Amino acid sequence: MTSPASAPTGVGRLDASRLDAARMRKISLASVIGTTVEWYDLFLFGTASALVFGKVFFPQFDGAVGTILSFLTFASAYLARMVGAVLFGHFGDRLGRKSMLLTSLTAMGAATFGIGLVPDFHAIGIAAPLLLLGLRIVQGLALGGEWGGAVLMTVEHAPHGRRGFYGSMVQVGVPLGTLLANGAFLLMAANLDSAALLSWGWRIPFLASVLLVGIGIYIRLHIEETPSFQAVRQDGAKARIPFFALIRQYWRQVLLGGIATLSTGSTFTLMVTSGVSYGTTELGHSESLMLWAVMASCAVAFVAIPFFGRLSDRVGRKPVIFAGVAAEAALAFPFFRLLDTGSTASVFVAYGLMTVAFSANYGPIATFLAELFGARVRYSGLSVSYMLSGLLGSATAPAITAALLSATGSSASIAWYVLGAAVLSLLALILLAETRFGDIDAPGPVAPPVGTEAVAKA
């Protein structure tokens, strides 16, 4: 029989547990909404690059060249993302995660809204693509700081055995943002003719993003700083120049982490930009069909990403990520063979299979990268490593695949590119240690040195 004295203690623990769960839901929601807004803005540009920008901002070039130029403008943000990762990482490790999240979200929203207002080439000539390029760079700077901060806000708050799951919730912002971006263009394409879409219809999704930004800022104003950063601040352990400290202590983790993540960016960019362009221009599929295929794959990822994140809490980060990358490699050629059949059903099957492989790779990768670095430089390390992968893979993937297709006329050349990126990621992943057992609040390394495996008791 429970004594009266013990009842309040038990009730107190239960209430505290409920408060912790409620707090994690709030933090997770704030991160998901914020990253959804950021990725909506980013992939809205990618969709527009595939379908609109070549004709609106580069009309003096033929179809293939115009598409490549618009994709190169798309790629410019990835250089800016690296600069943003260093800049926001510095202040995120010095001043805190929360303030950088608010700054990055505001900057992204302003740039995306500005893109919706840029006159086309016929109105102001060469100034049009230059303005587009400038605003795209601002988008890149903002995302360079956004993603890392959002991951840390969840991972550094999460209970020890749930870091993989909560880190994967941030990753859900990618399929949600892509779903919204493609849905917005699908809505415009379904209700407007080509002339109206090219004239003004494409601008509406960019202008509408201001509503999502407002919601994201409101929610983020009501979340608290992470325990890991608070501990670093209280202990006086902050690095004076986090980037320099990062390179001195963790340069191998930064480099290998970026290469290990290379396959995620290459695969996803392939599906949402290059795949759409290939399906419409080479295979004659309608723009609506390809956008529906992307949206269906995003719905699959919405469920699969948290599943694989939770699985990584049970079996480890590396086994799940490794399986996902290996599956991406195995599906590289079948993906295009299914597309080349011309069958509508085959398009959806191709996208569905590749999405499951991508989700296994992408779900745990945020937590895995965060756990590679100590708390005092984690914002910088996580952001720089992830943005390095974007620079190596996602940035050039659309332009490279368009150039390969133009030169060879065969989708096999693109499949070899996807396969090569996956092999590099697998090799880097082998050299990195398992991270799920580490102390996330430690100012020093969470994971063992590169090339060793963590040893822990169940």
Task: Tell which residue, 180, 171, 38, has the closest CA to residue 102.
Answer: 38
Look at residue 6 in the predicted model and tell me its pLDDT. Answer: 41
Look at residue 286 in the predicted model and tell me its pLDDT. Answer: 81
Neighbours of 449 (CB within 10 A): 9
Per-residue pLDDT of the chain (458 residues; tens, 9 = 90+): 444 444 444 444 434 444 477 778 888 888 888 888 878 887 787 777 767 777 787 766 655 555 566 666 666 667 788 899 999 999 989 988 888 888 888 898 899 899 999 988 888 888 888 888 888 888 888 888 888 888 998 999 888 889 999 999 999 988 898 888 878 877 887 788 878 888 888 889 899 888 878 888 887 887 888 888 888 888 887 888 999 999 999 999 999 999 999 998 888 877 877 777 778 877 888 877 888 888 899 899 999 999 999 999 999 999 999 999 999 999 999 998 898 888 899 999 999 999 999 999 999 999 999 999 988 999 999 999 998 887 787 777 777 777 887 788 777 888 898 899 999 999 999 999 998 887 776 666 666 656 554 433 33
Look at residue 19 in the predicted model and tell me its pLDDT. Answer: 46
What DSSP assignment string belongs to 185-222? Answer: HHHHHHHS-HHHIIIIITHHHHHHHHHHHHHHHHHHTT
Neighbours of 454 (CB within 10 A): 16
Contact (Cβ atoms closer than 8 angstroms) between residue 37 and residue 210: no
Contact (Cβ atoms closer than 8 angstroms) between residue 270 and residue 418: yes
Q: Which amino acid is at 110?
A: A
Look at residue 114 in the predicted model and tell me its pLDDT. Answer: 92
Look at residue 63 in the predicted model and tell me its pLDDT. Answer: 53
- Sign of the dihedral defined by the CA atoms of residues 439, 442, 446, 449, in that order: negative
The CA–CA distances, whole Å, from 324 to 332, 334, 372, 422, 433 equal 12, 16, 19, 10, 17
The overall pTM is greater than 0.85: no
| CA-based R_g, the chain, Å | 22
Contact (Cβ atoms closer than 8 angstroms) between residue 414 and residue 398: no
Look at residue 2 in the predicted model and tell me its pLDDT. Answer: 41
Packed helices 127-155 and 97-115: angle between N→C axes, nearest 10 degrees: 150
Look at residue 442 in the predicted model and tell me its pLDDT. Answer: 64
Look at residue 447 in the predicted model and tell me its pLDDT. Answer: 61
In the structure encoding, which two tokens stand for residue 97, read together? Answer: 């995660």
How far apart are the C-alpha atoms of 145 and 82, rounded to whole Å? 9
Task: Tell which residue, 174, 167, 185, has the closest CA to residue 27.
Answer: 167
Contact (Cβ atoms closer than 8 angstroms) between residue 429 and residue 319: no
How far apart are the C-alpha atoms of 348 and 289, rounded to whole Å? 9
Look at residue 74 in the predicted model and tell me its pLDDT. Answer: 61
Contact (Cβ atoms closer than 8 angstroms) between residue 106 and residue 217: yes
